[in-house]
Amino acid sequence: MGLYLLLASGCASVPKTTAGSIESGHALETIRAEKHRRVEQYIDRDQISRIDRIALPNVIIGQTAFQKPITPRQALIVANNAARSLCNELAPYIVLVPASTVDTAQANITIDRIQATSSGAAGLSAVMGLAVPGPFRLPVGLGALSAEAELVNAQSQQVFYIRWARGANAVLNDAKVSGIGDSWQIARKFGEEVAETIVDNDRKRSGIQRNKLDGPQTQSNRELCNATYGKLNAGARGASFILPLSPETIDPGPPDQQSIPVPSAPR
């Protein structure tokens, strides 16, 4: 029990960040203010409720978002996973289009900071996990991620903005032998939370409560997401539940490797 409590409390602190590329002149509401998780946001629910078409998320990587040992290729995989996650989570509820037009809202993402995972600690956790029942990970060398996102309506008005940061959890995040082992997993969670706020279909409270699109439209949306952000390697993804495979093995990144601007080298 003592070991489990130690692991459950083992979370990485949120990374320190500089100002991102997305600006918001609105007052932000603090949703979370914890050592391992920080969320601030502005949302105009009335304006968002009127949006039924969103262009595929644009995503960029900040100039100081990563440093060695993380490579530009790894940063690309993390950023793309955030955009893929947002796209796929929106797909059942909102019509997605390839690019913004006069009647289309636009989602934008900035990756502000990728804090590296210790590959050595992750590998040791994986080895030790073979002899320990249940989830096991050493609460050391954990990674983290900070990012921003916004939704701009067709009139170029910012109707949603979020500043978000999260540190890995020794229980909830699997050990993967890679410098982006944690940030890649956290990026998916970021996309999910952004979509959840935009869709806001929690019928247990007074949200926007969007209805799902019909099957053909949802399928069309998902095909557009796959074509833009790529799909995970199904075989490697399945094996990763047993082996500590790296995100680079599981995720080929976007089909168009030039689609996301990446700083040329870590600083």
Beta partners for residue 264, in sequence order: none
Task: Give dist(CA 120, CA 97) in Å, integer.
Answer: 42
* Of 75, 91, 71, 82, nearest in space to 217 by CA: 91
Residue type, 71: T
> What token pair was written down for 86?
């947002």
Sheet holding 29-33, edge to edge: 29-33, 37-43, 158-167, 144-152, 105-115, 53-61, 95-97
Q: Give the angle subtended at the CA of 92 by the CAs of 91 and 98, to the nearest 5°.
A: 25
Q: Over its length of 267 residues, how does the chain's per-residue pLDDT go in tens digits?
A: 444 454 445 677 777 655 567 888 899 999 989 988 999 999 998 899 899 999 999 999 999 999 999 999 999 999 999 999 999 999 999 999 998 777 899 999 999 999 998 755 444 445 444 444 445 555 556 889 999 999 999 999 999 999 999 998 866 667 677 889 899 999 999 999 999 999 875 555 556 678 899 999 999 999 999 999 999 987 766 665 566 678 899 999 999 988 898 987 665
Q: 95-97 and 53-61 as β-strands: parallel, antiparallel, unpaired?
A: parallel
Query: Quick one: which H or E segment has residue 49?
Result: helix 45-49
Beta partners for residue 54, in sequence order: 96, 105
Task: Give dist(CA 54, CA 24) in Å, integer.
Answer: 20
* Of 83, 101, 92, nearest in space to 201 by CA: 92
